[in-house]
Amino acid sequence: MRRGSYRKSPARGTNDTMTRTSSEGKKLTATVLNIQRMSTEDGPGIRTTVFFKGCGLACAWCHNPESISGRPQVQWIENRCIGCATCVEACPEGALRLDGSGMTIDRDICTGCGICADVCPSTAMELLGKEWELEMLVREVEKDRAYFEQSGGGITASGGEPTVQAPFVSEFLRHCRERGLHTALDTCGYASRRSLEAVLPHADLVLFDLKIMDSEEHRRRTGALNERILENLLFVRDFKKGSGRPLSLWIRTPLIPGATATVENLTAIAGFIAENLAGSVERWELCSFNNLCRDKYRRLGMEWEFQDTPLLSRSSLDELVEAARKMLPDPSIAQWTGAPRVEKEAATVHTKGHLKLVKGCATC
């Protein structure tokens, strides 16, 4: 990955400040967290998903807590560390301490300059959020064109919240589309109208999150009321109708135990879809809670409310989807995805276990 100089910008949610022009020219850059190739979960086909850093919401369950802040952040991956303490010596702020219990990053002092990551021999210190120039990013995502073409896939702009970096993201998607690549915008909906207006014309698909219908509860869990999100969703619907070109809309709801994953909430979301979006939504994905991000919180020095929350069982997932479907004019649009809790009886599913013997032939 290419990295330019590091930007020190306000923490989060301030639109447009994420994108800047560099001093040497007029090149657009963005802060990108990760580029995931051969992604099969972010829209149709095989996709390259670009995770843009920075989000206006701060959902209590967020699975990518490193994507919330628009600033570059550093993290320490313990099993890569060889204990050489090169980073400790290199840190200009003296923000790092390495002892028997591991690495401590003083986040009050750390500026996210990334010098520790630059000098770390083993990539145990990692800078989350790197500057990408538009042209470089377009070239990078175009590498999998052959797979996009064969699968009906393309590019997904995700995050964080990609519209936070709207000037860059709209240009990025425009360039992708001009090159014949299918484009998707994965948004939490918490965006300024201006940002949405900039990005939507360059998207072939919108993946729109609807989390909680009760606005107060939404604020309690995500930090913001949901009115703007709902308005934006209707705006997307109207834009789709008026755009005169194919634009797909998928809704996504994370199923978080004790938060979003209640029959009442899903019934309410289904009701909103039935009332306002019938015929406009092709798919509603109910994404099952998982806990794989637990270590991310620990590495960022953050508490996580869902630390010990068990995964949803298959039967409760079925029950939730059933409740959601009841309200929908076209129930087939709703489906759950993800991993349910491991249940003992599931072992019998593994009928062809003996076939594991067939590994890659060692001789050739």
Partner 1 sequence: MTNDLSYALLEVIDEMTPILEPKPNVRLHRKSPEKLLDTVVSMISSSQGAPFLLNFDERSMAGMLREAKRAGVEHLIHESNVHDYASVGCLENTMVGNDRSGTVDNNLNLLKAVELALTGGMDMLPFTDLLTGITTKPARVGPNTGGAERFKSWDEFWKAYEEQTRYIVRKCVELYEMSELARARFSPTPYLSCLVRGCAEKGLDITQGGAELGFATIEGVTFATTVDSLLAVKYLVFDKKECTMAELIKALKDNWVGHEVLQAKAKNRAPKYGRDDDEADEMARAVMDLWTEETWKYTTKSTGRRFRPGMLSWNYWVGDGFIMAASPDGRPKGQFLSNAICPSNGADINGPTANANSVGKALGGKDPNGGDWEGYLNSLPNGASHTITFNPSLLRDPEHRNKFKAFLRGYAENGGTALQINMIDADMLRDAQRHPGAYRHLLVRVTGYNAYFTAIGRELQDEIIARESHNQY
Distances (CA, A) of 91 to 10, 85, 97, 134: 22, 10, 10, 30
Q: Which of 156, 220, 222 is nearest to 189 (CA)?
A: 222
Query: Which is nearer to partner 1, 23 or 101 (by Cβ)?
Result: 101
Minimum Å gap between C-beta 205 and partner 1 is 14
Query: Which is nearer to partner 1, 26 or 356 (by Cβ)?
Result: 356
CB proximity list for 215: less than 8 A, separation 6 or greater: 225, 226, 227
Minimum Å gap between C-beta 200 and partner 1 is 21
Distances (CA, A) of 267 to 154, 215, 231, 325: 32, 15, 19, 8
Query: Which is nearer to partner 1, 279 or 353 (by Cβ)?
Result: 353
Minimum Å gap between C-beta 66 and partner 1 is 11
Distances (CA, A) of 15 to 9, 78, 147, 195: 11, 34, 33, 8
Burial of 256 (0-12, 13-18, 19+ CB in 10 A): buried
Minimum Å gap between C-beta 118 and partner 1 is 10
Query: Which is nearer to partner 1, 53 or 296 (by Cβ)?
Result: 296
Minimum Å gap between C-beta 284 and partner 1 is 14
Minimum Å gap between C-beta 241 and partner 1 is 27
The contact set with partner 1 (CB under 8 A) reads 36-42, 45-46, 63-64, 77, 79-80, 82, 84, 86, 121-123, 143-144, 146-147, 149-153, 252, 287-288, 290-296, 298, 337-340, 342, 346-347, 349-350, 352, 354-364
Query: Which is nearer to partner 1, 192 or 290 (by Cβ)?
Result: 290
Structure tokens at 174: 């425009």
Query: Which is nearer to partner 1, 56 or 340 (by Cβ)?
Result: 340
